[in-house]
């Protein structure tokens, strides 16, 4: 994949992920307004965490880390890629069906194990009921991830990226309909999730057929390729799912503090916007590209792809981090303070957003560095690093709770994220220069950070000067918009002056992309 096509892939996936995250904002705003922090939202958060946790293991995480490089190799070598994909489809489908069946039976135990909510807690029955409705979503998402992997391995990014928006496309009208007809909004939301899963699966299934992969359900076969894929996927399960495991640990730590699960959930969803747009886009596009380059012996091309991916990540992530740290309160107040979410909730959520923001670059850089290992079918090293990251997270979450209370899980998650980045970067040194960032990356890093600092100073001083506007209902939305525009103009202006972003390079890239 040429550098310009790599950038095109980042932009395609990033655009659709941005659309999904913006719709996700709308979804979370409605959840905060219609349901609000409290027992029902806690039950939803705990139940929704279950399919999302296993989704990282069976879908985007472990499965794609093993499946995409192997499929890319077969596509490049003109081997029987559809037959390999069919075997993977059958094996994955059977494994997830078994997981769903077992989980539906033992849902009470799963709720207790992952959230700490036990029988006798007023939230327990609701969480178990919500979990049984939503958990089959994992089957649709796992199979959708397989078809998305097929599309990504063949250089078709649009359909797979667009599918991510369908959850919010279904959930938002469902909640509005529930509010209009006077029903329980949360019930409409719960049932919308499996419906959205079916819609996502259908979209990518049809797109994969158009790409020449006509797959149908069948009995699984443990071929040599399947055994190798499972061997690679098992350690990748923890390596890619470490963030979800850390969230589950944090959930257990905070579950006995009133409204803490709801506060952490809303804060988590906000910082997921830049993480999703940048991190997921980079991870999806970079893995197949690195796999091809390493097989072709293109060391310079692989290093360039890695460095430009890291550069692209920091250009968008560092200013987001600074914004989350210096102005979390106006962001949260304007986005969420309405209906069932009051000023006290906003203060708590803003604190969590600022702490998660410190870890944001780490969460994104993990997506840049992990493909170095997965492209070589090395999932054992990230697995070992993930164990260290989980230990750091658990120790800090449990150890800090008596000192700082409910915010301990957010501190622990950010610290564990940076620990993982250091381990991934340090471990990649043995791979040689091909796995190291080039000199241009390091030169641009400090320039990007400086431009982000200039932006942070500008938006913070402006907020402190005009903070009264955020308390006037008719002005608060325009005030936030103005703050965002000021930040964007200041950042990109400073970045151009400092050399963090070269306008000429961007124009040249876009011109080539258009051509």
DSSP symbol at 501: S
What pLDDT, on a 0 to 100 scale, did the predictor assign at position 98?
Answer: 93
Contact 134, 167 (CB under 8 A): no
Residue 355 near residue 407 (C-beta atoms within 8 A): yes
Tokens of 514: 């258009």
Q: What is the pLDDT of residue 105?
A: 92
Euclidean distance between CA atoms 296 and 311, whole angstroms: 24
pLDDT for 175-186, tens place per residue? 999 988 877 889
Does pLDDT of 219 surpass 80? Answer: yes
At residue 121, φ and ψ (nearest 5 deg) are -75, 140
At residue 172, the pLDDT reads 92
Comparing 238 with 122, the larger pLDDT belongs to: 122
What per-residue confidence (pLDDT) applies to 118?
80
Element (H, E) at 396: helix 380-404
pLDDT of the residue at 512: 40
Most confident of 35-44, 132-141, 178-187, 464-473: 132-141
Segment among 279-293, 308-322, 323-337 with least mean pLDDT = 279-293
User: Which two structure tokens, joined as six digits, stand for 437?
Assistant: 């960032």
Q: If you write DSSP's letter for every residue of 151-169 in order, what string do you get?
A: HHHTT--HHHHHHTTHHHH
| Res 514: pLDDT | 41
Would the pLDDT of 243 be above 90?
A: no
Percent helix, strand and coil across the chain, each rounded to 5? 85, 0, 15
In this prediction, residue 269 carries a pLDDT of: 76
How many other C-beta atoms can be found within 10 angstroms of the C-beta atom of residue 465? 9
Per-residue pLDDT of 10-62, as tens digits, reads 555 556 667 777 787 788 888 888 888 888 888 888 888 888 777 766 655 56
List the alpha helices (DSSP H) in 78-136.
Answer: 81-105, 107-115, 124-134
Q: How confident is the model at residue 279 (pLDDT cuts 50, 70, 90)?
A: low
Distance CA 289, CA 233 (A): 19
Tell me the β-bridge partners of 121: 119
SS3 state of residue 121: strand
User: Between the CA atoms of 153, 232, 14 and 267, what dihedral angle is there, to the nearest 10 degrees?
Assistant: 160
CB 47 within 8 A of CB 134: yes
DSSP 27-58: HHHHHHHHT-SSHHHHHHHHHHHHHHHHHHHH
Q: Are 354 and 324 in contact (CB under 8 A)?
A: yes
Q: Calculate mean pLDDT across residues 359-386.
A: 82
Q: Mean pLDDT, to the nearest integer, of 270-288?
A: 64
pLDDT of residue 278: 65
Exposed, middle or buried: residue 507 (CB in 10 Å: 0-12, 13-18, 19+)?
exposed
R_g of the chain computed on alpha carbons: 22
Give me the mean pLDDT over the 400-429 stretch. Answer: 90
- Answer yes or no: is pLDDT of 251 > 80: no
Q: Tell me what the pLDDT averaged over the chain comes to.
A: 81
Provide the percentage of residues in the chain whose pLDDT is more than 70. Answer: 84
Select the more confidently predicted residue: 352 or 53.
352
Tell me the pLDDT band of 419, cut-offs 50, 70 and 90.
very high
Token look-up 């998305």 returns 148
């Amino acid at each position: 994949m040429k550098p310009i096509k790599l950038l095109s892939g980042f932009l395609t996936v990033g655009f659709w992920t941005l659309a999904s995250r913006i719709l996700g904002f709308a979804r979370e705003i409605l959840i905060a307004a219609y349901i609000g922090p409290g027992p029902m939202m806690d039950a939803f958060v705990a139940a929704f965490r279950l399919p999302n946790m296993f989704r990282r293991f069976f879908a985007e995480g472990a499965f794609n880390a093993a499946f995409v490089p192997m499929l890319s190799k077969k596509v490049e070598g003109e081997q029987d890629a559809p037959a390999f994909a069919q075997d993977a489809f059958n094996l994955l489908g059977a494994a997830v069906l078994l997981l769903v069946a077992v989980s539906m039976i033992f849902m009470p135990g799963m709720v207790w194990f992952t959230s700490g909510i036990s029988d006798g807690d007023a939230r327990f029955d609701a969480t178990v009921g919500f979990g049984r409705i939503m958990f089959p979503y994992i089957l649709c998402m796992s199979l959708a991830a397989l078809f998305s992997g097929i599309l990504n391995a063949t250089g078709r990014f649009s359909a797979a990226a667009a599918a991510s928006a369908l959850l919010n496309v279904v959930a938002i009208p469902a909640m509005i309909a529930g509010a209009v007809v006077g029903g329980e909004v949360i019930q409409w939301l719960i049932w919308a999730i499996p419906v959205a899963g079916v819609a996502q699966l259908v979209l990518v299934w049809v797109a994969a057929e158009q790409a020449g992969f006509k797959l149908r359900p069948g009995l699984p076969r443990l071929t040599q390729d399947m055994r190798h894929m499972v061997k690679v996927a098992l350690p990748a399960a923890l390596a890619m799912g470490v963030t979800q495991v850390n969230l589950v640990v944090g959930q257990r730590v905070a579950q006995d503090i009133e409204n803490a699960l709801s506060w952490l959930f809303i804060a988590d969803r906000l910082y997921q916007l830049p993480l999703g747009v940048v991190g997921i886009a980079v991870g999806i596009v970079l893995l197949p590209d690195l796999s091809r380059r390493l097989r072709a012996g293109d060391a310079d091309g692989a290093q360039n792809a890695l460095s430009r991916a890291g550069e692209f990540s920091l250009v968008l992530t560092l200013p987001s981090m600074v914004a989350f740290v210096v102005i979390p309160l106006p962001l949260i107040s304007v986005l969420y303070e309405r209906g069932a979410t009051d000023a006290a909730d906003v203060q708590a959520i803003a604190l969590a957003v600022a702490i998660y923001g410190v870890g944001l670059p780490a969460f994104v850089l993990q997506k840049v560095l992990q493909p170095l290992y997965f492209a070589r079918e090395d999932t054992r090293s990230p697995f070992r690093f993930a164990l260290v990251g989980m230990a750091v997270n658990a120790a800090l979450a449990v150890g800090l709770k008596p000192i700082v209370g409910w915010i301990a899980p957010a501190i622990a998650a950010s610290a564990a994220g940076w620990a993982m980045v250091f381990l991934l970067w340090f471990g990649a040194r043995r791979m040689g220069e091909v796995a190291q960032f080039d000199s241009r990356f390091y030169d641009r890093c400090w320039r990007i950070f400086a431009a982000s600092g200039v932006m942070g100073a500008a938006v913070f001083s402006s907020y402190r000067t005009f903070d009264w506007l955020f308390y006037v209902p008719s002005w608060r939305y325009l005030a936030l918009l103005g703050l965002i525009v000021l930040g964007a103009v200041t950042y990109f202006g400073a970045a151009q002056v400092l050399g963090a972003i070269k306008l000429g390079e961007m124009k040249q890239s876009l011109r080539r992309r258009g051509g």
